[in-house]
Amino acid sequence: MIIAANLKTNLTRKQTRLYVNELETYIKQNNIKQDILVFPATSSLDIHSGKVVLGAQNAYPTQNGAFTGEIGLDQLEEFLIKTVLIGHSERRHVLGESQDELVKKFNYYKDLGFKIIYCVGEPLEKREAGKEEMMKYIASQYEGIDTSYENLIIAYEPVWAIGTGLTPTLEDIELIHTDLKEKSHAPLLYGGSVKVTNAKEVLELKNVDGILVGSAALYSEHFCTMIQFAQDISQ
């Protein structure tokens, strides 16, 4: 299974190093075999060797250049980063990234062989508009994306569930994941208010290959508990 932590704009460089070291200790002591990904803030990216793979929360589709506030391939290569999150709902809905821009990023990093965690998910009004409308919206987020890319992981994250404490029912998650698996055979993670109290039930669902965790992953003990759930379920 794939257990991923999106640290967003949290933790300093020093705190992130400590956090990742705590995960490594747990992974080693408990012989964890799952894939663990951590997306720290850009300023906390670093060379890291161990079981935890560090990825960028965002990157511009360029080697370098005049793109104020962005980072490109040169900055990722400095820290041997080969994993990138593309299309997170905060990039789409807070920072206004369009599908066209995301496709450019996707293609650029795909051509470089990066592991891409590509996020999709509907806002509340699309969910409330009914299943057909909602699935149409999610389908539009697959436009221009090579869904058979070998290093692709998809994360289904309903926008209204991110950071709100709200989640779809387990039944809903399973149904949507089953539909989305028809669009791509890539591993499919669920994200949106996953925490210690619901992670196990989510991980047990059919067509859920892992979880992408935001707020609850900020506590290394909580994140390690979720890693352990995945390990126990996989055995």
Q: Which of 86, 194, 208, 230 binds ligand PEP (CB under 6 A)?
A: 194
The residue range among 40-48, 63-71, 177-185, 191-199 that interacts with ligand PEP, by the rule CB under 6 A, is 191-199
- Laid out side by side, the sheet with 52-54 consists of 52-54, 35-39, 2-6, 210-213, 188-191, 152-156, 115-120, 83-86
93 is catalytic: no
143 is catalytic: no
Nearer to ligand PEP (CB atom), residue 191 or residue 210: 191
Q: Which residue has the tokens 């932590």?
A: 5
> Is 5 a binder of ligand PEP (CB under 6 A)?
no
> Is 157 a binder of ligand PEP (CB under 6 A)?
yes
Separation CA 126–CA 122 (nearest Å): 6
Residue least distant from ligand PEP (Cβ): 214
> Hey, which residues between 207 and 226 contact ligand PEP (CB under 6 A)?
212-216
Nearer to ligand PEP (CB atom), residue 73 or residue 177: 177
> Is 1 a binder of ligand PEP (CB under 6 A)?
no
Q: Are 34 and 234 in contact (CB under 8 A)?
A: yes
Nearer to ligand PEP (CB atom), residue 192 or residue 210: 192
Q: Which residue has the tokens 């539009």?
A: 140
For residue 56, give the DSSP letter. B
Write down the catalytic residue from 90, 97, 157, 174: 157
Separation CA 68–CA 21 (nearest Å): 32
Q: Which of 50, 72, 123, 163 binds ligand PEP (CB under 6 A)?
A: 163
Percent of residues in the chain assigned helix, strand, coil, to nearest 5: 45, 15, 40
Q: Which of 6, 16, 44, 220 binds ligand PEP (CB under 6 A)?
A: 6
Nearer to ligand PEP (CB atom), residue 157 or residue 174: 157
Nearer to ligand PEP (CB atom), residue 19 or residue 73: 19
Separation CA 234–CA 142 (nearest Å): 29
Structure tokens at 100: 């066209």
The residue range among 49-57, 61-69, 136-144, 206-214 that interacts with ligand PEP, by the rule CB under 6 A, is 206-214
The site that binds ligand PEP (CB under 6 A) totals a number of residues, namely: 13
Distances (CA, A) of 80 to 45, 49, 161, 183: 9, 10, 32, 31
CA dihedral of residues 108, 114, 47, 2 (deg, nearest 10): 140
Residues identified as active-site = 88, 157
Task: Give the footprint of ligand PEP on this chain (CB under 6 A).
Answer: 6, 157, 162-163, 191-194, 212-216
